[in-house]
Every structure is written in C-alpha cells, then in structure tokens.
Amino acid sequence: MSTFPHTHDDSRFIRRTLIVIALVALALLVWQLREVLLMVFGAVVVATLFQSLAGVYQKLRIPAGVSLALAVLTVLVVVALCFALFGAQLTSQYEQIREALPRAWAALQQRLEGFGLSGQLDQLKGGSGGGGSFAATAGQFVMSLGSGIADALLIVVGGIFIAASPRFYRSGLVKLVPESRRAVTSAAIADSGIALKLWLKAQLLTMAAVGIASGVGLWLVGMDNALAFGLLAALLEFIPFIGPILAAVPAILIAAALDPQLALWVAGVYFVVQQLEGNLFSPLLQQWAVDLPGAVLLFSLLAMGTLFGPLGVIFAAPVTVVIYVLVKKLYVREALDTATPIPGEEQKQED
C-alpha cells in the first residue's frame, strides 16, 4: 500500500505549522517594536504637516522639492523666532512653576488639614509618605511631555524623508497587498492622508485658539506665568480629554496655595476656555475637518494609552482618524457594500 498520501498530508501539516509559527513570530516582533512603529506614525504626522505647508507654496507655482524645503525652513524659522522672542521668559516661568509646585502642594496640605481633610488628602496622594509626591508626579508627567528631544528629532527627520517622497512609501505599502486589491487600498490610503491633513489643520488652529485664550484669561485674573501656562494649554490640547485637565492642574494648584479666590478665578478661566473650545472652536473647524465620535475617541485614547503608554496617548487622536477612515473605506463601503461618507473625499474630488 502506498505511503505517498501520508507523506503529502505530513508536508502540508508541516507547511501550515511553519506558517502559523511565522505569523506568531511576526506578531511578537511587531509587539516588541510597537514604540518604533508609533514613532514611524509620528513621522507620518510630521510629514503631513510639511506637505500641507508645502501645498501653500506649490499654489504659487513653486516646484514641489523647493516648496518642501521652504515649508521645513518656515517651520524652523517660526520655532527659532518664538525661542528668540519668548525663550528666556518661558524658561524662567517654567522653572518658577517647577519650583513652586512642591511648595504649593505643601501649602494646600496645610490648608486642608486645617479643615480636617487630611484623610482625603492622603487618599489623593495614594497613601505615600512624601508630602510633595502628588505635585512631583504631576509636575514630572507634564514636564516629561517636553523631554525626549532625541526621539522628537528622529520623528522630525523621518517626517522630512517621508514628505520628500510620499508616493514612494505609499507604493511600497500598497505592494504588500494582493494585486487585485491594490487600487482600493491606494485610494483608502489617499483618503486617510487627506483626512489626517484636515484634522491636523483643525487641531493646530484649535490649539492656537486655546493657548491664546488661556494665556489672556490667566493674565486678566492676575495669575503669574500666564505665558507659560498658555503655551502649556496649547500643547496639551493635542491630547483629547486628558490634555486640558493636565494643563489646568498645576495652575490651579499654585493659585490655591497663593489665594483660594485666585484658584477659583483660574479654574473659571480653564472652564470657560474649554466651553469655548467644545462649543465654538471645534464645531466651526470640524465642519471641514474630521468629526470623530466622542465615544470612539475616548476609548481609543484608553486603548492607545494601555498599549503604548504616554506616546500612545499623544498620538491617539491622529491614529483614530486614520483607522476611522480606513474602516469606513475598506470595510463598510467595500466589504459590506454600504454607502457611507468618507472624511476628506469631497476635497479630493475638488482637487
């Protein structure tokens, strides 16, 4: 009796086993490199910013390569001017904030203990013995957003490379899918890029509006270091939900240590600014950008924070924008054959 069928079955079993092992190994490799992959996505976000600015120069009939160089130069000049005009003042103010946070927490501790609230204070500190542990932790978390200069520089340089040859990287990504699906995959990537560009423009405008409103409001109520707190509010506005809270905590804490009435005014400023952001700035800008469902963005923030840590929280919103468009394009419209609007599709037709 021939043993060939058994040999054929064994080889097929071995081949499938090797495929499963390879897929598991690939998944483990991706998991180990998850932070690197997230930095690659950060470079894509930076590239989108440069491409958007380069598009302005291209409308003046300037060649694409020169337009990109001018876009990068424009960003560098703006950053250099900001440091030249406000760098020394911001550095001084942030140093004052860093030194004031532990003292503010100690002063707040004395005030609350005077009202018999020491138990609640211990719970807020997490039961730790250090009186300034909460302030130190909050301060370190906020200030850590400005650290990682090497990683940030790597993301910016990577963004310049991607912006210089976007079609090269897109075509390489498309070649990873079967040939029959490459056209729709390329269209989906293009749609997600347009949506990301629109979202980024709206987000930068919102950040500027929140930063200016916060800084002016804090200055009007007599809060010291209003410029630094305004810039902090603008930067943390990039992080949905959590960012505004992180921006408000150190200002309210320091104000509470100085004067409880000032703390109420400071809290009122942040409350009013967030009301303006939620009911005026964002709705106006989202009319032509990407209007993400709030629940989707919230749980995406939690998921990205769990998987990737602080870096995931920072990039949770743009990642959600891209996934949101890809799901609507590739799954809802293509797989389920269900009509659904794609963010950015109208602008692509206009272009």
Give the global pTM: 0.77
Reported as type and span, the H/E element at residue 135 is helix 133-144
Residue 292, pLDDT above cutoff 50: yes
Please tell me whether residue 142 adopts helix, strand or coil conformation.
helix
pLDDT, tens digit, 9 for 90 and up, residues 186-222: 888 888 888 899 889 888 889 999 999 999 999 999 8
Reported as type and span, the H/E element at residue 233 is helix 226-236
Residue 326, pLDDT above cutoff 70: yes
Q: What percentage of residues in the chain have a pLDDT greater than 90? A: 14
Look at residue 346 in the predicted model and tell me its pLDDT.
Answer: 62
Look at residue 27 in the predicted model and tell me its pLDDT.
Answer: 86
**277 near 209, Cβ under 8 Å?**
yes
Look at residue 269 in the predicted model and tell me its pLDDT.
Answer: 93
Look at residue 185 in the predicted model and tell me its pLDDT.
Answer: 87
Q: What percentage of residues in the chain have a pLDDT greater than 70? A: 76
Residue 271, pLDDT above cutoff 90: yes
Look at residue 267 in the predicted model and tell me its pLDDT.
Answer: 92
Residue 88, pLDDT above cutoff 80: no
What distance in Å separates the CA atoms of residue 144 and residue 148, rounded to the nearest whole number? Answer: 8
Residue 243, pLDDT above cutoff 80: yes
Residue 26, pLDDT above cutoff 90: no
Tokens at residue 320, please?
Answer: 């959600």
Q: Mean of the pLDDT values across residues 36-63?
A: 90
Residue 145, pLDDT above cutoff 50: no
Q: 342 — phi, psi (to 5°)?
A: -110, 120
92-101, 187-196, 306-315: the lowest-pLDDT one: 92-101
What distance in Å separates the CA atoms of residue 75 and residue 276, rounded to the nearest whole number? Answer: 28
Look at residue 310 in the predicted model and tell me its pLDDT.
Answer: 81
pLDDT, tens digit, 9 for 90 and up, residues 159-178: 999 998 888 888 888 888 88
Look at residue 330 in the predicted model and tell me its pLDDT.
Answer: 87
Round to the nearest angstrom and report the end-to-end CA distance of the chain: 70
pLDDT, greater one: 7 or 255? 255
Look at residue 277 in the predicted model and tell me its pLDDT.
Answer: 87
Look at residue 1 in the predicted model and tell me its pLDDT.
Answer: 47
